[in-house]
Structure 1
Amino acid sequence: MTITIGNKKIGGREPVFIVAELGINHNGSLSLAKKMIKAAKQSGADAVKIQSFVTEDFVGDKKLKYTYRSRGKSVTESQYDMFKRNELTKKAQSDLFNYAKNINIIIFSTPQDNSFKTVNFLCGAQLNMPAIKVGSDDLTNLPMLSHYAKKKKPMIISTGMGTLSEIKDAVTTIKKEDNTKIIILKCTSLYPTQPQQANLAQIITLQKHFPDLIIGFSDHTSGSTAAVISVVLGAKVIEKHFTLDKNLPGPDHWFAADPTELFLLVRQVREAETMLGRTDFNLSKEELKMKKIARRSIMAAQDIAKGRVIAYEDLTCKRPGTGFSPKHLLRFVGKIAKCDYKKGYIFTKKDL
């Protein structure tokens, strides 16, 4: 199965689709967001993702606190205040979509409002974003998923904090709207995710339970090791939190990949894809050439006169591999020599 997002095909034997998640690491600054998009493009990402929200639409309690690490210190503040200062206006989002288009990188967003005004705006004629991302926090918001699915856009759903049953409910809800363009991202909603909590083997579980869908990985770990492992396990999409500077203020900067780290992640993922190669054992021209040099052939260990019964001691197996394979050695033992064989003669099928 393949799904097209923008100008990229995803799934099957297509290259892994790598998304730089800007999240709220633009700190509410349009200029910083544009710099991030450009840096993500230069680092080799296929796409960037933003978050589109009106804080009042998803934070119901303004006193709800959130504690995070920023600039080496623990910060506790109101979730409402944190998200409010990172909101992007519709004009700012339009500017970012246009900027991404101008530098030829795919952009899409995670809309987060129960009124659906945001997703309607993003999927409307003006922006017409190519895919809808659903965050882990909305995995069980089935009415929202149903509305999103009606847009007939590819849907990428993260599964952090989710049970297998909840993931199945989400997929069923989307499919009921006749939308099968679904990408499921294995995700752990811990920031950052420690190695012992990554549970990348769940990618295999998702492949087993959703064989008709594309499986990917939303990576909240530090570094690129998890992303590379996910590719080996079959992930076709990787989403990675991204920042220009780990020392900027905010909850996600310190563990997000900076441009150098994202560049390394992209390079290592591409190397992993190349190294995985094919599943068949059809040898390349280069290896066939090496086979003739490095394999052994059945060879006369000493002079063998015509008419003599060939003994095991008369034979040896040495390089090159241009003659009969050693696996046939016993077929020569007990045979009558058809002619005189000098020491070092390489036997072939015609000598049997």
Structure 2
Amino acid sequence: MNIDKPYIIAEMACSHEGQVALAKKIIDAAGGAGANAIQFQVWTADEVIVRHSPDYNKLKNIELKREEWVCLLNYTRDNWPNLSIIACVYDEESINFCEKIGVDAYKIHAADLSNPKVLSSVARTNKRIDLSIGAATLNEIDLAIKHLRSESDSTIWLMYGYQLFPTSVNSLNLEFMKKISNLYGLTVGYQDHCDADKDEAFWLPAAVFGMGINVIEKHLTHDRSLKGLDHESALNPSEFKKFVSMINTISISRGSGSPREFNEDEKKYRKYSRKSLVARHDLNQGSEVKSNDLIALRALKLGLPPDSIAMIEGKKLKKDILVHDLVTIEDLQ
């Protein structure tokens, strides 16, 4: 299944800093910008990382309680009913919790691409699965898809990209997305992790969308200047709104790829720019039209196109025609 319209996912990640109030600001920014989905990372530190890791305490300090996630889900449903909720999950208990509260889709992080317990648990929900394939081999991707397919017919989107806080443009292989989409016949999305302080945070996803990749995941924070967790690739609310507008504008301009009737602007352009056959000099009634009597020029309105000169040549005129006036079929005997 391939979607033909932009689908923009606002990735909250850890930008909530463990505070429900900040998470609500991010949700409001996503909904207000017109994103299609908000992505929650639902986890407990003990199920993600070893306790002797230097990152353990950092994660433990921002870990949201289950009741806080329920609050955020209800807040989203009440205030932004058109905003789908995607849960990025890392363990079976969190998956079971997300099923109870009713999320719309799941993200499987590349960290669990070869984790059969997580793959199976998500597959059994029968909801859409966004499978992250950042820094994964074709064999790992292939095995993960086969595992999911063995347990479910859920829609699978393959999400390319990875976080290096931020990710350099030199580290990307965007053409791989087209190859992997053709290989599996699946929708492929782009997870952008470029430096949010640089212009590439806008033009690189725009280029990806121009390639025909319609699912774009973009990090969103409440205030990047505070340099909190996951801030490196995250846009501020005003920037994110501009980003969504940019993608939607590109979508309108990209069109359908099929021929269509001219719109009014195209008709005006044709009338203004196309050349028509006009008299090169004054022509008299009864004279026989020769090719050197005509010239193709832009006129005040469209007449006969230049390639219709054979229809006119050798015909006699019914009336006088002044220099640079149109020569039409009605003017001929």
Q: Work out the CA distance in 1 between the residues paired with 2:24 and 2:284.
A: 83
Displacement of 1:236 after TM fit? Answer: 2.1
CA contact (8 A) 2:288 2:317 kept: no
Q: Work out the CA distance in 2 between the residues paired with 1:306 and 1:56.
A: 96
CA contact (8 A) 2:39 2:88 kept: yes
Q: TM-score, normalised by structure 1?
A: 0.84
Equivalent position SS for 2:64? coil
> C-alpha deviations, 1:131-161, integer Å up to 9, x for none?
0111121222234212211110011112111
Aligned to 2:62: 86
Aligned to 2:181: 207
Displacement of 1:243 after TM fit? Answer: 1.2
Aligned to 2:303: 323
Q: Work out the CA distance in 1 between the residues paired with 2:17 and 2:59.
A: 9
Displacement of 1:31 after TM fit? Answer: 2.0
CA contact (8 A) 2:289 2:317 kept: no
- Would you say 1:49 and 2:39 are equivalent positions? yes
CA contact (8 A) 1:188 1:197 kept: no
Equivalent position SS for 2:266? helix
Which of 222, 226, 239 lines up with 1:248 in the alignment?
Answer: 226
Equivalent position SS for 2:303? coil
Q: Work out the CA distance in 2 between the residues paired with 1:88 and 1:300.
A: 80
Of Structure 1 and Structure 2, the greater strand share is in: 1
Aligned to 1:296: 275
Residue correspondence of structure 1 range 1-352 to structure 2 within 5 A: 1=1, 11-12=3-4, 14=5, 16-60=6-50, 62-64=51-53, 78-104=54-80, 105-113=83-91, 116-124=92-100, 127-211=101-185, 213-222=186-195, 223-248=201-226, 250-282=228-260, 283-305=262-284, 308-320=287-299, 321-333=301-313, 335-343=314-322, 344-349=324-329, 351=332
- Structure 2 unmatched runs, 5+: 196-200
CA contact (8 A) 1:161 1:189 kept: no
Q: Work out the CA distance in 2 between the residues paired with 1:80 and 1:95.
A: 25
Q: Work out the CA distance in 2 between the residues paired with 1:262 and 1:198.
A: 22
The size of the alignment, in residue pairs, is 322
> C-alpha deviations, 1:303-350, integer Å up to 9, x for none?
3445644322211112235211012224534x2325344134423345
- Structure 1 unmatched runs, 5+: 3-10, 65-77
Q: Work out the CA distance in 1 between the residues paired with 2:175 and 2:23.
A: 34
CA contact (8 A) 1:215 1:234 kept: no
CA RMSD, 1 decimal: 2.2
> C-alpha deviations, 1:210-268, integer Å up to 9, x for none?
32x22211110132222211211122221111211224354412331111221121111
Q: Work out the CA distance in 1 between the residues paired with 2:250 and 2:14.
A: 30
Q: Work out the CA distance in 2 between the residues paired with 1:199 and 1:155.
A: 23
Equivalent position SS for 2:62? coil
Of Structure 1 and Structure 2, the greater helix share is in: 2
CA contact (8 A) 2:191 2:216 kept: yes
Equivalent position SS for 1:203? helix
Counterpart AA for 1:146: S
Q: Work out the CA distance in 1 between the residues paired with 2:73 and 2:243.
A: 24
Q: Work out the CA distance in 1 between the residues paired with 2:211 and 2:23.
A: 32
Equivalent position SS for 1:156? strand
Q: TM-score, normalised by structure 2?
A: 0.88
Q: Work out the CA distance in 1 between the residues paired with 2:287 and 2:33.
A: 71
